[in-house]
Amino acid sequence: MRRNLQLGLLFAMLALLVAIQLVPSGVSNPASEGEVSAPPEIQNTLRRSCYDCHSNQTRWPWYGRVAPFSWAVARDIELGRRQLNFSEWGAYYPLTRKRKLQWMGRALEREDMPPLSYRLIHPSSRLSPQDRAQLERWIDSELASAAASSASKAGD
């Protein structure tokens, strides 16, 4: 009797696991609306360490297609894109772009990005001290350009 119950529970769990595969994660890679323009070394770093969560060019890992893991991956990507999406950089207003750059700078300072959970699974996404320094210089340069641009517009 006990063995039959165990087999029944195992079968039910397997059936449930198969059934939940039919529930889509709901995230895709939509078309881009104006990629971020940056020097090649910055683009390479962004693509390697940031684009999976912060662009419409996500490289979906195998576990990102298996429920229930796919739901967590989809949620993380959706939140990441909402926070900052390099594929929509050209559609951001200048003030929004400035705020996104400031957020990136703070995240780099605190070493919040990429998140530890992502770095553990994707070791190539780790930012070296040189990567961080390059990104910080690029962010500072972009912020300075934005400030100069808004100052010249204010003077017109």
Q: What is the per-residue pLDDT across 4-46, written as a single tens digit (0 to 9) for each?
A: 878 777 777 777 666 666 666 566 767 777 788 899 999 999 9
Domain that holds residue 33: 2-155
Rounded mean pLDDT, 140-155 = 80
Q: Residue range 85-111: average pLDDT? A: 95
Say yes or no to pLDDT of 102 above 90.
yes
Sequence-distant (≥ 6) Cβ neighbours of residue 141 within 8 angstroms:
none
Q: Which two tokens stand for residue 97?
A: 């772009």
Diameter of the chain by CA atoms? Answer: 86
Whole-angstrom Cα distance, residue 61 to residue 45?
19
The count of domains in the chain is: 1
Q: Is the pLDDT of residue 141 over 90?
A: yes
Enumerate the H helices of 21-128 as residue ranges: 40-49, 51-54, 69-83, 94-110, 116-121
Span 41-63, mean pLDDT? 91
Instruction: Indicate the Cα dihedral angle 73, 79, 82, 88, nearest 10°.
Output: -20
Kindly report the average pLDDT of the chain as a whole number.
Answer: 86
Reported as a pLDDT band with limits 50, 70 and 90, residue 67 is: confident
